[in-house]
Amino acid sequence: MNTNRNTAASFVGTCDQLLGFRITLSLLIYVFVQGCAPSLVSMDRSELEQLKYQPLIHVVHYPPPLLEAWTFEAGLAGDVFIPFGILGGVVGGFAGHAAHQAAGEKLKKQCSLEDPSLRVREEVIKSLSSEIGIENFRLVSELLESDEIDALRSKFGDSLVMDFKPLGWGLLIEPLSQWSTRRYYVSYHLQARFIRLRDSKVMWLGYAKFVESELFSTSSTWDELTENGCTLLKAKFGQAADTSARQLADQLWGK
């Protein structure tokens, strides 16, 4: 009888370790998909102020990547591979990543979530207008598929372009809450550039990173996030957008 109990306890312990491995691997996959932080390119204040004399600055943005939501159901897609050891944990990590994306897109539709980069763009432009007096922005309504300079030049000629590219957004689970009341935090990443197409020069490149658990040490349950028409979740992504806009503005001002 004791042998059976010890075997069962050993199996549960092993599964817990592999579950932790699967969660850690899923987090690593999420970070890998978002990509490494780009190398920043700074711009002198005097060069920045010269932008207000440009005839036109086209402001463009790109489609966001798939939203990821680490729901309990999505996690099960990866957990079914846990009994198969380390290899099962690896397969489960990738299966869980795809399931998280599917759950995220479902959540996006359910909550009518908007891409935070639109709000970031609005706030950064507002900051440039008030601080520098740049008023010659032209917002391009269509989403562009390619951020390659040649593709931008084919569309805008030798003009000046400011672009906003969302790199990733997600609702991630606090790893230690996996075994209790699950708690989630918002993550969001974005880069922005000023590009002089005439000579293909990236005049400025900024990068914003918002990870709620790191910046504010806060998190919420799934019910808290999705009740009342997802009011709290929308507010958190709004907070991510405003924080990202301030980060980009600080980088523009050289802070």
pLDDT in tens, 104-139: 999 999 999 999 999 999 999 999 999 999 999 999
CA gap 72, 74 in Å, rounded: 5
Per-residue pLDDT band at 96 (split at 50, 70, 90)? low
The first and second tokens of residue 145, run together, are 């598929």
Query: Which residues are CB-contacts of 148 (< 8 A; sequence separation ≥ 6)?
Result: none
Per-residue pLDDT band at 181 (split at 50, 70, 90)? confident
Q: Which domain holds residue 19?
A: 1-36+72-99
Q: Are residues 232 and 133 in the same domain?
A: yes
Q: Give per-residue burial for 4-33: e unless 16+ CB within 10 Å, then b.
A: eeeeeeeeeeeeeebbebbbebbbebbeee
Q: Are residues 90 and 157 in the same domain?
A: no
3-state helix, strand, coil in the chain (%, to 5): 55, 20, 25
pLDDT of 77 higher than 70: no
Q: Structurally, how many domains does the chain consist of?
A: 2
Query: Which residues are CB-contacts of 218 (< 8 A; sequence separation ≥ 6)?
Result: 185, 212
Q: Which residue has the tokens 């980009």?
A: 248
0.75 exceeded by pTM: yes
